[in-house]
Chains A and B, each alone.
Chain A
């Protein structure tokens, strides 16, 4: 990402961020390479980092860093080493007070960009042309991987090894099996992220290109309409809800809906249903939909505490309770798929008709491509983030249980307070002392660490991370950063101006363009004579009587008025940026101040406030 190298960034330096009280030593929870270190200060301080609050809104438990390292490894390898996206390598991350900040690694050498474009064109082109076939393979690979992590056996450490170990020469001992199982658990995570990012960039890229086309030609089109034109009708993520709706209907039809009253816990409902034949039949029907739909997660994030519906069915039950009530009230809860399909085609037709012929052709082709990639974009979260990850975290819990059983942890859940390499260390010692019969240090070593980190996370959770740190970028050009996080140049500028505090006014964007200049506040028509060439006129209203002086001013800012007042029209006619209806420009701005008028976004900024 291009960044200004000056020291006057709008954002705080990553090296100047204070540790919240009582959080000293937070760094111990994270890999050494995840920190802002003095050894790379010259570089890191001059890069633009933004808080990845989309994926990591909470301070990271030590073990959950596996879900930071692995995805950025996988994103990087596909983007940089496989597809060779021309201007962007991968994403670097750092942890500050427990929160994840990220930045892109740009490619700036034009020769290198051209070289990468050759690879990218061939490889990405191949994926788009064979999308359905390749995506079919993805689903098979993911299902295989999910089966593997589900079935992966975490051995007990027995008093004596089984007879097979003694009598069959191809059997390994438990120390090896524990270490191998843990290693395989970590590798399964890497495989999942590898599969995840195989398609992610290209899927979002097609979607975004279509979306950009729509927004460039139809600047006010609601995002919702773009999504509607692309969206599949038979969307996998709607299925769990559809199944639960059917179950709600079954409950009513078989007269067991009385069990589903507001605020009741799943266990209470189950207990009541188990008492009747119809209730037991309902529970059986529920069992029938659990695979795969109860692999939904209770939260949308990459943390160990987001469980599957199997582990915590409260969302599913609450949904049935809601459907039961809606059905009783006669509300239509069936998704009108035919109507949705008609509306989707109507939107595509009508928007297409507003475009000129060449653009319409590109619009239609991109729409088709977006619909092709859509199943991946929509479904990968179910396979990867929900189904796989909830099972994977549970597998890690099994190792936690093993460590807890041998006194290394007080509770299986405490395993998430250790980094994955620390867990490997603990397992190393566990199998060693199990094998040797020696005294383990782990039970004295790990519990105090766990206790301290729980307290650290609690306190770090009270800290508010700034949206961005480091240098203010001139422009955001990294396609992944724009596509996946929606961080654009404009967004960064909004953050930057919010950091600066006051001196910012918003109004209606009446005439596009951005200029800077000296403000001339005119509250009375008598003062118009004082307007000098190149001034920015700041006035209470956009009186058309002042039109003659518009050829002298650079921009117009008003307290009141709309984008269709005649003066606003005249501004557009003259090509003068205008922001109208700011409410308080004449009282906030003083003659002689340097101001910036952004008539495109409707923002006025006092530069020397």
Chain B
């Protein structure tokens, strides 16, 4: 059981979701199951609460939110702007700052005192666990240096109050409790290929399939729908690729050559139409899907990446796993004898088709 505001990911388990947010808790859980996850640490929601308390921002947030309750796009945007600016200029509590510095230092490797990290929000409560809170929270990639890390943590917190987060919360009527948020910090993976997999087909609900989408570069292009990814449907039972659609992948996100952040660039013409996964990648992803699904006993939506310059199995890492929440209703359960089902095929009314 971790104590304090900050904990290494490997010490977390699913049950830590309330304190550290779903994403961090889940990454810890994945690590405990032997799933490859880039190393990192988690900032608890308590850090955010201390921040609000020490800076006295609570009142400003409440009055801005009251204005946004009209539900219009314009009022939501104005509230977001006001809250975001106030947060960005407020100092971090000393305990939080010291913890970040020490854990960030632990991630530093040989000769790299300012390792690149990914800083992501890790939502608390209903938004994180029960709903697929699609893209409403922030990711800051390729963050380097302690001060930039602190900024990114504050920006994550501010993402609780983006216009679309405000709109989503208003639409869902999930008001009441004050929102809080954890933050996940992980060593950056230089992804040559990234994507998403579902341990079932999320469109049809078929549990025998693994659905995979993949594109060049960092995962935001796929997750954000900014490119039409390659699309694979692979049978868990036989490993056969049931559907394979290779698309023109026009853009990708790569590390900014300046050293910090990412840039969106055009994919060179010769790579656009090239499939970004080969058979052995698909096999590794199906194997990963089976392990993740078996561990959770439920269907998962997994973000993954293939690290540049590495080969399988080391190249494949998991960046996030969430329960799949919006699988279509499966066909109704079946009962009755085989014979009555066959008679039903021939249009015999159910009441009459149970033979003597």
Contact = CB atoms under 8 A, between A and B. Distances in A.
23 contacts: A85-B346, A87-B346, A117-B353, A120-B348, A121-B348, A121-B352, A121-B355, A125-B356, A205-B345, A209-B342, A216-B331, A354-B207, A362-B341, A544-B134, A548-B73, A548-B164, A564-B196, A565-B222, A565-B223, A566-B134, A569-B326, A572-B202, A573-B132
A510 B97 CA distance: 43
Q: Which of B325, B347, B355 gathers the greatest number of chain A CB atoms within 10 Å? A: B347
Contacts of A369: 338-339, 342
Given A219-B205, A219-B206, A547-B135, A560 B228 contact: yes
A219 B204 contact: yes
Interface of A: 85-88, 113-114, 117-118, 120-122, 124-125, 128, 201, 205-206, 208-209, 212-213, 216-222, 225, 347, 350-351, 354, 356, 358-359, 362, 365-366, 368-369, 477, 479, 483, 508-512, 529, 541-545, 547-548, 551, 558, 560-570, 572-573, 580-581
B233 A573 contact: no
A220 B202 contact: no
Given A206-B342, A548-B171, A565-B222, A114 B349 contact: yes
Nearest to B227: A560
Nearest to B354: A121
A87 B343 CA distance: 12
A208 B333 CA distance: 18
A547 B170 CA distance: 13
Interface stretch (B34-42, B111-119, B237-245): B237-245
Contacts of A570: 132, 134-135
A567 B225 contact: yes
Nearest to B132: A569
A522 to B, nearest CB: 14
Interface residues on B, range: 35 or more
A368 B227 CA distance: 47
B352 A220 contact: no
B7 interface: no
B337 A365 contact: yes
B231 to A, nearest CB: 5
A544 B222 contact: no
A286 B250 CA distance: 61
B328 interface: yes
Interface stretch (B150-158, B208-216, B268-276): B208-216
Nearest to B240: A222
B168 interface: yes
Contact of B206 (A122, A213, A218): A218
Closest 8 CB pairs of A and B: A565-B225, A216-B331, A365-B338, A544-B135, A548-B167, A87-B347, A219-B204, A566-B135
A212 B225 CA distance: 34
Nearest to A543: B225
A118 B352 contact: yes
Contacts of B345: 205, 208-209, 212, 479, 483
A114 B196 CA distance: 51
A201 B222 CA distance: 48
A154 to B, nearest CB: 42
Interface of B: 73, 76, 131-132, 134-136, 163-164, 167-168, 171, 196, 198, 201-209, 211, 213, 222-229, 231, 233, 235-238, 240, 242-243, 245, 247, 301, 325-326, 328, 330-331, 333-339, 341-349, 352-353, 355-356
Contact of A218 (B208, B227, B301, B328): B208
B322 to A, nearest CB: 10
A543 B240 CA distance: 32
Nearest to B207: A354
A216 B328 CA distance: 12
B328 A86 contact: no
A365 B338 CA distance: 6
- Interface of B (DSSP majority class): loop
Contacts of A529: 73
B225 A561 contact: yes
Nearest to B347: A87
Q: Which of B198, B333, B339 gathers the greatest number of chain A CB atoms within 10 Å? A: B339
A563 B227 contact: no
Q: Which of B236, B328, B345 gathers the greatest number of chain A CB atoms within 10 Å? A: B345
Contacts of A563: 202-203, 211, 213, 231
B121 to A, nearest CB: 14
A567 B134 contact: yes
A358 B134 contact: no
Nearest to B225: A565
A569 B134 contact: yes
Contacts of A225: 235, 237-238
Contact of B348 (A86, A218, A544): A86
Given A124-B343, A206-B342, A562 B336 contact: no
A1 to B, nearest CB: 13
B276 to A, nearest CB: 12
A318 to B, nearest CB: 30
A544 B171 contact: no
B347 A566 contact: no
A342 B224 CA distance: 44
A562 B229 contact: yes
A547 B134 contact: yes
Q: Which of A122, A213, A218 gathers the greatest number of chain B CB atoms within 10 Å? A: A218
B342 A573 contact: no
A483 B235 CA distance: 26
Contact of A221 (B206, B245, B247): B206
